[in-house]
Structure 1
């Protein structure tokens, strides 16, 4: 029988998101691939320090105590020899990661499909945008983010924004185009009509399946939160959408435009996902953060940057 990952939560992660390769990355971004590869070869026996997503990955792998439920795959633009350092660093830090794809500068996200990945974490903005455009769940990590490492050692906590992350950006389009009053009226009138799925819906699905299994495993549990700028009465459509998906979340914060950072500080997530840079900038001072470059807000930002 061939090996299959279809029944696993599969997280694909770049080596730079998993480990602190910022010094090496500066050489890579300078455009001298040979110098980068030479530096990695010189350091093959030097274990890399944990990166921004390391605490989350370590906790997810802890769900495999009594069964193989989570698969983590290194998916990297690095060359295969540099991949030796990534794997040796995994061994040094006792991370049970056995699979990896190294593309030596070529965009790697095409391999997300055969991996059946529920999430791709990378520090490379182009790779994340390419993955999202191709329909894969992805987020750009901020390597300089704070982390909640060491907190809630027996619980995985993940927080999500709603529109353009868990849900489609259809409501956000109305807000951006017609303003708050029209948005509220539209969401109230359509409160029983579920929102279309957003790019990270597959991750939430996989986490919820794991959550029900992990509740039987006292060593590691999962807790999720929705942290959104929505407020009443627009909150109802979000909750009813989750009900239609038959997914339960543990906490919901309807903040009506309040800064999300202080609320995340109280929730203490291992990771937070948002589609808007301003929320990510606030969140990354608190915890590990991923920018989901999806939806109308990011189309506007891309156009402004291009001009």
Structure 2
């Protein structure tokens, strides 16, 4: 009987999101042969950790010998030789449980998200992220210049999400962008009892909710999970967002309705292992403090 990843949280991640390959990447597009040669010469040299490595390490810590709750798969434009270095680097960083990978040698990799059943795709390649989102998969471009994750919560994964165009659709954001704040507030109050349509990251939040429930039931390794909604919404528009989560039967542990305040300082206090937002200004603000990813979705990303 074939192996199945059913009932696991499946994270697909590129080599540049997991490791610091920025020096090598300078060769990738202009000299592919030179890139392969450089990676071959460094096969026994572990790559430095990348922005998403702490998140991956914590997620994998949910697994026990009896129960596999999380699967991390390498999904990369790298060639197979470079893939050897990626796997060796993973082992050197204590991530030997990463055993699956797809290396496409420059070809588009995002098509493999379907057979993987991925709940999240993290990549430093903006075009790949855009196409993954178009296919319906939660995906974000990792800002490789992001600050590192805090080490203050070793037994807890913390993930923060923007609301509109990330957890929810950009329906309300379109009203705000085209008609202004007053029209947005009126629209949200008029539709307060109507749940917002699903956004691209609802499947990830749902999968994290299942993982959180398993952790609370004591069927994982003792790791915990904490989620936060960090949104520019404010009262009274906050109510529709909360009602939508209630309709989904999915809760978040914290909610910040910031009314347009810069998110970076608030995220620094929450200390997420990763933050997802659709607007480049918010992502840039966040990246000065925490690991951040840009969700190229909605009206803010035409």
Q: What is the Cα deviation at residue 148 of structure 1? A: 2.0
Q: Structure 2: how far apart are the matches of 1:97 and 1:151? A: 24
- Which residue of structure 2 lines up, in the alignment, with residue 280 of structure 1? 283
Q: Secondary structure at the match of 2:300?
A: helix
Q: Structure 1: how far apart are the matches of 2:80 and 2:49? A: 20
Aligned residues: 298
- Which residue of structure 2 lines up, in the alignment, with residue 18 of structure 1? 18
Q: What is the Cα deviation at residue 149 of structure 1? A: 3.8
The Cα offsets for residues 17-56 of structure 1, whole Å up to 9 and x where unpaired, read as 0001010001113x21101111000001101111000000
Give 4+ residue runs of structure 1 displaced > 3 Å after superposition.
none
Residue segments in structure 2 that go unaligned for 5+ positions in a row: none
Q: Secondary structure at the match of 2:67?
A: coil
* Alignment pair present for 1:247 and 2:250: yes
Aligned partner (choices 226, 231, 236) of residue 233 of structure 1: 236
Residue segments in structure 1 that go unaligned for 5+ positions in a row: 300-307
Alignment of 1:185-200 (within 5 A): 185-200=186-201
Q: Structure 2: how far apart are the matches of 1:110 and 1:148? A: 30
Q: What is the Cα deviation at residue 218 of structure 1? A: 6.7
Q: Secondary structure at the match of 1:143?
A: coil
Q: Structure 2: how far apart are the matches of 1:48 and 1:200? A: 30
Q: Structure 2: how far apart are the matches of 1:39 and 1:246? A: 50
- Which residue of structure 2 lines up, in the alignment, with residue 115 of structure 1? 116
- Which residue of structure 1 lines up, in the alignment, with residue 299 of structure 2? 296
Q: Structure 2: how far apart are the matches of 1:257 and 1:189? A: 21
Q: What is the Cα deviation at residue 64 of structure 1? A: 0.2
Alignment of 1:136-155 (within 5 A): 136-155=137-156
Query: RMSD of the TM alignment (CA)?
Result: 0.9
The Cα offsets for residues 213-251 of structure 1, whole Å up to 9 and x where unpaired, read as 112257310000000000000000000000000001100
| TM-score of the two chains, using structure 1 as the length reference | 0.96
